[in-house]
Amino acid sequence: MDRNGSSLNTFFRMRQWAIGLLPVSFLALLFFLPVFEILKEASSYSLSPVREILSSARFWEITWFTIWQSLVSTFLSITFAFPAIYLFTKYEFKGKKVLRSLITIPFVLPTVVVGSAFTAVFTRFNLDEGSINLRHTVWAILIAHIFFNASIAIRIISTYWDGLNDNPENQSRILGTGKIRTFFRITLPRLNPALFSAATTIFLFCVTSFGIILILGGPKNSTIETEIWRQAIWRGEISTASAFAVIQLTFVILLSWGLIKAEKKSASSEELSRARRKKPLKRTLTFHFTYLFCLFGLPILILLERSLRLDGSGLFAFFTGLTQRTNIIPITPIASLWNSLRFAMLASLIAALIGLAASTVIVHGSKKLSTFLNVSTSIPLGVSAVTIGFGIFLSFTGPLTNLRSSQLMIPALHALLGIPFVIRSVVPTMRRIPTLLYENSQLLGVKPIKSWFNIDLKLSLRSLLVGAGFSFAISLGEFGATSFLPRNPDTLTAPLVIYRLLSTPGQELRGQAMALSVILAFITSLSIFLIEMVRKTD
């Protein structure tokens, strides 16, 4: 683990501030400054609301619920992802790449669509009344969180596992240890860095989960996130909302700091190599496909069914209807898709660029800067959209005023949420590049910047693309933070149009909303597929 001797480290230590400047200034503008303004706003109301809230039983109820549902959701998402992780790591089969890109679909589906799809699943299987009642329960929330977040675990962990050889496992098996024991005693600890990486991201995602809690949790379940929104937007109690925001911020910082420490500690000096993959038996494949279907299939099937016109005339009428503008929305739904795509492209490029710079500093830079960047790039995921949105309103004054309603803010905010995915995916890979490679390259007289390019970038390109793919998907589906930015009719994104279509009664509008979601999902998996085609090269 100690790589102080490496020439690359010395090289980057000297230049870490120059390289770190890009991510730090990006964060400063879009995150620190807005959050600082909100804190200032909160303190201007005197600290009494914080004290008042801390002493109310309801607050502790909400906080406790937020923490435990996030922890349980994270644990379950990773656990349920494992069979799929195993499939993608250990087996080589036809259509693997397609399947891998398909599992990102849950990630971009607007929560209002997924929420109603789950409600429909519950209704169809009679799970909303009688002996098994999932309606408005924590179970409904957990199931939906698994649906949304399992793909994060699958992608992050399988990408990492893919680069581990089988030697320790083989030795353990030779020594007579059982398959299951070997997995728990040998494989799992080796996967720790990726496990923590995925857990941090999923946890933060569950803390700020909004639509799922509101729609599937019903009126009786509130989290800090929904409470901030309710207080700020509905009750107009900005001071109470800011107090909740402060508390959310504090505990998100503490938790991500802890998880990132754990991730770093667990980073081993594993050699980066490639495990051997085998062709699965037909039976194995059938099992895995059935499993994936159970995990992701039902809500998506409901969505597909709703996007089609099943009365016989014009099965795809809702799809063709998307090219026409309806009265209630200023642009055609198809045009909104193009907006989303443009924003997503820009956002994932910004995220990849800044994420790569930050990852380099995190891996090679000094301990302090490394931890700072690692934690501060992650917390935007766990901070309420209300905090960031209102913070931007408050802080972007004077010369920044025009930026507030600028088009560039949308991809920039999306990138802010995409960067942690790039980092969570690149850092574990970069950390285990053998020091030997740098030393050899130094011996050969290769310039440090060139060896970074040849070693770090090349060997983590795969992970970088996985991260970029994620930020692309996030941008396509993002609704929270951007819903706080002022937008003009020409820049409406597809998720916003889906929400608008669903807010007026009428089967035609509803069908179109579903059709647009299907196209959004299709485009996402196609883009992820294309992005990952580049991986062929390694």
Partner 1 sequence: MTRVPDLDNASGGIVKRYIKLPIAIIFLSIFACGSSETTSNEIFESSVTLLTHDSFAVSEGLFETFTDETGITVEQLSLGDTGQLISSSILTKENPIGDVVFGVDNTFLSRALDADIFSPYVSSLNSKIIDGLIYEESGHVTPIDYGHVCVNYWKSSFSDSLPPPSSINDLLDPTYASLLVVQNPETSSPGLAFLLASISHFGSNWKNFWKLLTQNGVSVTNDWESSYYGEFVAGGGKKSLVVSYASSPIAELIYSDPPVEVSPTAIIEDSCFEQIEYAGILKNSKKRTQAELLIDFLLSRRFQEDIPLNMFMMPVSAEASLPDQFEDYPMIRNNLNTITPAEIENGRNDWTEIWTETVLR
Site for partner 1 in 401-420 (CB under 8 A): 401, 404-408
Residue 65 vs 390, nearer CB to partner 1: 390
To partner 1, the closest distance from the beta carbon of 105 in angstroms equals 21
Smallest separation (angstroms) from partner 1 to the CB of 196? 29
What is the pattern of x (binds partner 1, CB under 8 A) and - over residues 103-122? ---------x--xx--xx--
Rounded Cα gap, residues 255 and 383, in angstroms: 12
Residue 475 beta carbon to partner 1: minimum distance, rounded to whole angstroms: 13
Residues within window 238-257 making contact with partner 1, judged by CB under 8 A: 238
Shortest distance in whole angstroms from residue 386 CB to partner 1: 9
Binding to partner 1, residues 5-44 (CB under 8 A): none
Q: Which one, 131 or 313, has the nearer CB to partner 1? A: 313
Q: Which of residues 143-202 bind partner 1 (CB under 8 A)?
A: none
| Alpha-carbon distances of 175 from 165, 169, 172, 186, rounded to whole Å | 18, 10, 5, 13
Interface with partner 1 in residues 462-501 (CB under 8 A)? 483-484, 486-489, 496, 499-500
In the range 299-318, which residues lie near partner 1 by CB under 8 A? 309, 311, 313, 317
Classify each residue of 348-370 as buried b or exposed e, where b means 16 or more C-beta atoms within 10 Å of its C-beta.
bbbbbbbbbbbbbbbbbbeeebb
- Of the candidates 218, 194, 224, the one whose C-alpha atom is nearest the C-alpha of residue 60 is 224
Contact criterion met (CB below 8 Å) for 241 and 232: yes
φ, ψ at 278 (rounded to 5°): -120, 165
Q: Does 504 bind partner 1 (CB under 8 A)?
A: yes
Q: Does 97 bind partner 1 (CB under 8 A)?
A: no
Which residue lies nearer to partner 1 by CB, 74 or 231? Answer: 231
Which residue, 186 or 446, is less far from partner 1 as judged by CB? 446
HEC string for 139-179: HHHHHHHHHHHHHHHHHHHHHHHCCCCCHHHHHHHHCCCCH
Residue number with CB closer to partner 1 (33 or 349): 349
Q: Coil, helix or strand for 358?
A: helix
Rounded-to-integer distance, Cα 285 and Cα 460, Å: 29
Beta bridge partners of 480: none
Residues 6+ apart with CB under 8 A from 454: 441, 446
Q: What count of Cα atoms within 13 Å lies in the side-chain half-sphere of residue 207?
A: 28
Rg (CA), the chain: 23
Between 32 and 393, name the residue whose CB sits nearer to partner 1: 393
Report how far residue 225's alpha carbon sits from residue 145's, in angstroms, rounded to the nearest whole number.
15
* C-beta closer to partner 1: residue 376 or 482: 482
Q: Which of 54, 132, 454, 530 binds partner 1 (CB under 8 A)?
A: 454
* Alpha helices, H only, 91-133: 96-102, 105-108, 111-124
- Answer for which of 60, 68, 316, 453 binds partner 1 (CB under 8 A) is 453
Site string for partner 1, 381-400 (x = CB under 8 A): ---------x--xx--x---
CB of 478 to partner 1, least distance (A): 14
Q: Which of 60, 170, 503, 526 binds partner 1 (CB under 8 A)?
A: 503
CA distance 465 to 444: 29
Which residue, 118 or 148, has its beta carbon nearer to partner 1?
Answer: 118
Contact (CB, 8 A) for 516 and 326: no
| Minimum separation from the CB atom of position 236 to partner 1 (A) | 5
| Minimum separation from the CB atom of position 459 to partner 1 (A) | 8
The stretch near partner 1 (CB under 8 A) out of 24-32, 234-242, 251-259, 368-376 is 234-242
Site for partner 1 in 121-140 (CB under 8 A): 123
**Residue matched to tokens 């408050």:** 394
Among 134, 122, 132, 194, smallest CA distance to 164 is for 194
Q: Contact region for partner 1 (CB under 8 A) — 140-148, 173-181, 288-296, 509-517?
A: 509-517
Show the CA angle centred on residue 487, arms to residues 483 and 491, nearest 5°.
110
- Between 79 and 440, name the residue whose CB sits nearer to partner 1: 440
Residues contacting partner 1: total by CB under 8 A: 80
